Chain A
Amino acid sequence: MQMSLKRLRPHDSVPILIFLILAAIPVLALIRSEDYLLSLFERLMIFAIAALSLDLLIGYGGLISFGHAAFVGLGAYAVGILSAHGMHDAIIALPVALLSSALFAYVTGVVCLRTKGVYFIMITLAFGQMVFFTASSLAPYGGDDGLTIAARNTLGGFAFFRSEGSLYYLIWGCLLGAYCFCRMLVGSRFGRVFRGAKENALRMETIGFNVYRFQLAAYVIAGMMAGLSGFLLANATEFVSPAYMSWQRSGDLIIMVILGGLGSLHGAIIGAGAYLLLEEWLSAFTEDWKVIFGPFLVLVVLFARGGLLGMGKDLVRRLSRG
């Protein structure tokens, strides 16, 4: 076997840097005794997991899902509903969150993936809205108002999630795991077929690949990852609400992926970070922060086709040229 260090390429430095910074945040929060930093970055990493899974679909598969927030919501509601019935352990809640989002991805994917382009966007949106309205009408679980979770999940009986620090590193670990998993996936045999289907589905069919099966598998995988982020979101905020799966939220996820740079995975993390930090920062100035954010997004899309990541690469290239 080759040395794993040898495989490190220069462009690996960006994701490594990202994860190092994220790992250092609790220390910073401790020094400056700013607790809100922890919850802000927990949120950031949770959305990064969802954005990562969406980048898998959009950036690598050309499947523009406009209902991705539904999976986040399903994961969150699994925690909320179980806890309302007195089941607080992650040993039950996590598998339920993952399986319900996987099942929903499979059932809807079977239908959605028969369509292409705009129709795929519309039908994923429709399924997403379906889940949204279902959750809104769940009167026993708070309906429109959502549901406060009595206590965070325990892990095999231990109150592991209760300490903010351990929850933070748990989320960090999940993000790292999700990132490494995606990286492995896109570079695998499966990933090559999935990427090939984005390039030219007709060619893939005539080579002998049943493109639909590969896309369905990827759709289920991405749905489960978003479900994981929902599970974490419910635990971090101790609250679930239909707003988690509104179509605006699906739109936010698409914006994150595009903002960071499509089809690079760590771009999705950067995008989620940029989106949430800008939201935080701009909303301190004005309630109508989207008035500033909107034009900014337009500028990024117009002038930096590779998103913020592409912009950064350009900058590095220019600087190193002198």
Chain B
Amino acid sequence: MGEPVLQLEQLRKRFGGLVVTDDVTLDVMGDELHAIIGPNGAGKTTLINQISGLLASDAGRIRFAGRDITALSAHARARLGVARSFQITSVLSGFSALENVALAVQARTGSSFRFIGRVAAEVGLNERALAVLNELGLAELATRIAGELSYGERRALEFAIALAMQPKLLLLDEPMAGIGREESLRLLDVLQRLKGRLPIVLIEHDMATVFALADRISVLMYGRVLASGPPAQIRADRRVVAAYLGDELE
């Protein structure tokens, strides 16, 4: 496992009087899939937003790949290699799937302050974008307009966008939410392909997915880390079972 890629140190966030992230300290190791579970309102999405830079933290530090990124903007963090998906899928609806992915490739290769040359004809961008789509088994979607894809396909496209950024960390915010049974199997397959290739932080309510994929699990309750450890340990943890897993597992 080696060095932690992501270190959260006593991270805090409050909205008015409500403390949503309360002293969260967490490590994500080099190649692990780290799941964060917890009831609704536990502050999971807020935490992801803090890590990806969409929300500023009130206190604490975020270290990524040995660097303090607490003060960096979202786009600067993305450039360093933090990629994410959203709970409500976020793609460029008017663009083709290929263009969506090519744009992520573009962000990593050369300047985008280039005013001449047709970008749609840039072979380098298109080939790499297609390679990523292929890798996730999505090549047949390439020419389709993203807004016309099914919900599950759009979610998978979002993974492809994230992957095309050549990230060093992937943050997935409830990838299975709102996906039908059949498509969720396909997404699970995609996730399995990603796992082990890069560190992933996964927020998920679907416990079958979590226990099938996670190397480690942290349980979040009212913004605090209740427990953190391998799946077997979490499953056996009395406090976790009493507070959250009890009704989820039965």
Question: Chain A residues in contact with chain B, CB under 8 A?
Answer: 184-185, 187-193, 195-196, 199-200, 202-211, 214, 217
Contact = CB atoms under 8 A, between A and B. Distances in A.
B92 A203 contact: yes
B112 A190 contact: yes
Contacts of B119: 187-189, 191-192
A184 to B, nearest CB: 6
Given A190-B115, A202-B54, 14 more contacts: A184-B115, A185-B115, A187-B119, A188-B116, A189-B106, A189-B115, A190-B112, A192-B112, A200-B91, A206-B52, A207-B104, A208-B104, A214-B112, A217-B113
B22 interface: no
B95 interface: yes
Main secondary structure of the interface of B (DSSP, over half): loop
B168 interface: no
Contacts of A214: 112-113
Contacts of A207: 75, 78, 103-104, 107, 161, 165
Contacts of A199: 92-95
A-B pairs, top 4 by smallest CB distance, nearest first, are A208-B78, A199-B92, A208-B107, A189-B114
B197 interface: no
A200 B54 CA distance: 14
Contacts of A190: 112-115
15 contacts: A184-B116, A190-B112, A190-B114, A191-B115, A193-B112, A199-B92, A199-B94, A200-B91, A200-B92, A202-B86, A203-B92, A206-B74, A207-B161, A208-B76, A208-B108
Contacts, number: 97
Interface string B89-106: 011111100010001101
B120 interface: yes
Contacts of B74: 205-206
Contacts of B108: 208
A54 B167 CA distance: 37
B118 A187 contact: yes
B78 A187 contact: no
A207 B76 CA distance: 9
A222 B115 CA distance: 14
B57 to A, nearest CB: 17
Given A189-B112, A190-B113, A208-B79, A203 B91 contact: yes
A196 B95 contact: yes
Nearest to B84: A206
Nearest to B79: A208
B180 interface: no
A60 to B, nearest CB: 11
